[in-house]
Structure 1
């Protein structure tokens, strides 16, 4: 059944209603020429039918999508609610090169919140992250982050018409989307437009240096033989552009701290400060923050063919920080304390790249006076790839978006859903309830069940069977990391002095 028309700043939209939830899909929030900043879409006067997802952002496997019309969002809102509802604004992941809002059906969360759920598209790969402003292409820097900001602006201005509360917006995202959330939260332009933030499985290094981003752009221009005419990149066919980026990426992957070539960039303009410094100085102390990761994050990347570049770069970075002897001490301790089903090498890399950076950010926010909660997802969903790989990267996300008692299909990722086991349902229900409580109140659970992260206790919530709390800073592994980090810091101080 079609909904009544809902007014927006650009024109009225019509969605579809099913099972007491209204869905508005493919709503344009902006338009953009290649390598240009997003602008408001052309206005319309007749009600626009928004019942199907909009075009995906161009990406490998979907290079036939329309570039100019990929900036759309999707809204799910409960029907018949007579009060403004909290809003969850979700930024998808996909290593900054794949994905889209169409992979996340928010109807179940909207109905059970009740809450308004928003998923967005933003430009990916070279179209969203290739930094070309130093090569004469004006505003071509951090375009994907500017897309997300434009979507947030649209939601803040229009969501009241869909039953949402513009003063109760939660920024949320997973993987690359979590990096976007952390960066977006620190932008002065975003202040006052959101009230809390959730980041699931943010990579260890959220921000790239401007010099490295410039080197990526230079190599792509060289690969396309456009060094003398950079502006011509705006008319290169998408298959040719993406193929050139892939070749450059393979050569550059081992030269980055994160093993990736794209991501938000500390460009001094859009992102003027390192986001962690903004959290540390207390600028965001009034923003409740939930940081989460999955127990076996790195398994998926170890099992990829070939293994993801972040595997090699993470080991190299640990060795650079602590020396070969420090690396061997860590690996020896991980082997000595490994669970029966645990790969010690994977566990060490997961801690180095995912878990410890998240804990460090939690410490910064807590020390600055902010409310923060830290979680780890230990449940193995009965859905591939998790059924064979355990609670690896994305396991929490699969349960977050499930329509109990079923996992949902992910059309862009080409993953089928399926029925959930009783254990899946139990853990997913707890995870969703915590998220919806956080979106509603800024607190994911009562203090007795899940205390906020504070020094020196550092409680870590474990989503498994049963849900429980463990101290983050206990155990042989934690003590060795602290010892090695202190030694490294003392070495740097001696060298600086």
Structure 2
């Protein structure tokens, strides 16, 4: 049934109620012309029916009939009849910065079991959200996707109380590309005071692009489109042509440089003034509880893609650049000698290099600065493709997080079907969801005896599997080899600088 109208700063909205949960879908929080900063949508006076998801952000598979200006919407699930303001989970979806949307994440189950208010958002993707054109004649076109997320966060801060949420208890959360967005967003002065904790699942090792690399991407895209002398014409290039040009540039970057990255937040000096990891390290966010998570076999999915993702080549290239060919061969030989029966040592090495180690480093920065940090790894293989055949690879935790027990949910944008869960799926997913909802509610994912904080010299890693358990991150033999190679590299660097 339809809900009563709820007031917002732009006009009243009506949602739908089912099983005690009210859902409001496709609420516009902003509008935006191509490569222009988002602005508030036109106000309305009559109650707006928000019972269907809004338009997808333009992305591969959804380009021919994409509506660019009106893709910035959000979705809310909230418990009907709550007797107190509820904590809020603000979720930013992943998808390599080029696919996905809030419609892939139905928050009804989490809202009911929190209880909590669940918010998912859309933001501009691909070249529309991440081409940094501000130094190429289009003054506002920098970090537009980050600005979109900020606009959504501002909307939530101003309006969520009307939906039963507590604007002083907002958890920034995201997975994959969305986790990179969370890490960047959390450090921005514009976001200060608008969230109280942060959760990042499977944030890529390189969360932030340099301004020089972002400029190189733009120059290459303009050259591919033959627009070097008429930059402004990019605002009218058909979307299929624009996305195709950036894809070609990405393939060449992966072959010619140490980075195949074409999309992502960029250190532009304006929207993102500082390297996010430096902000965590200097203690500016010490009052923000931080949970960082990853999946055991992160890189398997990307190695099985056709062709293999660019990050495969660039990750190996970067490890070789850091430790030399001898260091790379020593690492690979050691991974082969210590591999589990079901483990591919090459994939495991790349998973550690690109995903696990950078997230542990960020936890160390935050903990050393006095912040509360927790680190986890998802080791369970969900009985759902692609995880059934690939193991606990990238996104396995996300599938369980959003499950409506005892079923996985459909993901319409990714075109992935849900299905029934096994008893093991239900057990691990329930534990994961409980930890998340406890974190959203209290800022602590579990009692200290079960899952201690990540602290200097004491680095517990929570394993979500059967059973849930905690191991010391810094006692593994692989960890010690990485540490030895890093120490040797740092010593050599200091000798060069001293000489």
TM range (shorter): over 0.9
2: CA distance between counterparts of 1:253 and 1:305? 15
What pairs with 1:341-380 in structure 2 (closer than 5 Å)? Answer: 341-380=342-381
Kindly state the Cα deviation for residue 495 of structure 1 after the two structures are TM-superposed. 1.7
Q: 1:427 aligns to what?
A: 428
Kindly state the Cα deviation for residue 246 of structure 1 after the two structures are TM-superposed. 1.5
Q: 1:404 aligns to what?
A: 405
Q: 1:18 aligns to what?
A: 18
Using a 3 Å threshold, how does the CA distance of structure 1 residues 256 and 11 change in structure 2: closer, same or farther?
farther
Q: 2:113 aligns to what?
A: 112
**8 Å Cα contact 2:380-2:465 kept in structure 1:** yes
1:324 is aligned to 2:320: no
**8 Å Cα contact 1:203-1:258 kept in structure 2:** no
**8 Å Cα contact 1:253-1:261 kept in structure 2:** no
**8 Å Cα contact 2:254-2:313 kept in structure 1:** no
Q: 2:75 aligns to what?
A: 74
1:47 is aligned to 2:47: yes
1:472 is aligned to 2:473: yes
Q: 1:279 aligns to what?
A: 280
**8 Å Cα contact 1:431-1:463 kept in structure 2:** yes
Using structure 1 for the length normalisation, give the TM-score.
0.99
2: CA distance between counterparts of 1:49 and 1:452? 44
What pairs with 1:3-402 in structure 2 (closer than 5 Å)? Answer: 3-63=3-63, 64-255=65-256, 257=258, 259-402=260-403
Stretches of 4+ moved more than 3 A in 1? 254-259
Deviations 1:426-451 (CA, angstroms, capped at 9, x unpaired): 00000000000000000000000000
Deviations 1:159-211 (CA, angstroms, capped at 9, x unpaired): 00000000000000000000000000000000000000000000001000111
Query: Can you give the 5+ residue segments of structure 1 that lack an aligned partner in the other structure?
Result: none
Kindly state the Cα deviation for residue 258 of structure 1 after the two structures are TM-superposed. 5.0
**8 Å Cα contact 2:117-2:165 kept in structure 1:** yes
Kindly state the Cα deviation for residue 257 of structure 1 after the two structures are TM-superposed. 4.7
2: CA distance between counterparts of 1:466 and 1:473? 21
2: CA distance between counterparts of 1:439 and 1:256? 40
1: CA distance between counterparts of 2:75 and 2:258? 34
Kindly state the Cα deviation for residue 254 of structure 1 after the two structures are TM-superposed. 3.7
Which secondary structure does the structure 2 equivalent of 1:83 belong to?
coil
**8 Å Cα contact 1:36-1:140 kept in structure 2:** yes
Kindly state the Cα deviation for residue 475 of structure 1 after the two structures are TM-superposed. 2.1
Kindly state the Cα deviation for residue 237 of structure 1 after the two structures are TM-superposed. 1.1
1: CA distance between counterparts of 2:256 and 2:271? 24
1: CA distance between counterparts of 2:226 and 2:307? 29
Which secondary structure does the structure 2 equivalent of 1:134 belong to?
coil
Query: Can you give the 5+ residue segments of structure 2 that lack an aligned partner in the other structure?
Result: none
1: CA distance between counterparts of 2:199 and 2:449? 21
2: CA distance between counterparts of 1:479 and 1:333? 11
Which secondary structure does the structure 2 equivalent of 1:496 belong to?
helix
2: CA distance between counterparts of 1:318 and 1:203? 15
Which 10-residue stretch deviates more, 178-187 or 234-243? Answer: 234-243
1: CA distance between counterparts of 2:334 and 2:122? 43
1: CA distance between counterparts of 2:71 and 2:195? 24
Kindly state the Cα deviation for residue 255 of structure 1 after the two structures are TM-superposed. 4.7
Kindly state the Cα deviation for residue 149 of structure 1 after the two structures are TM-superposed. 0.3
**8 Å Cα contact 2:251-2:260 kept in structure 1:** no
**8 Å Cα contact 1:333-1:476 kept in structure 2:** no
Kindly state the Cα deviation for residue 259 of structure 1 after the two structures are TM-superposed. 3.2
2: CA distance between counterparts of 1:137 and 1:419? 49
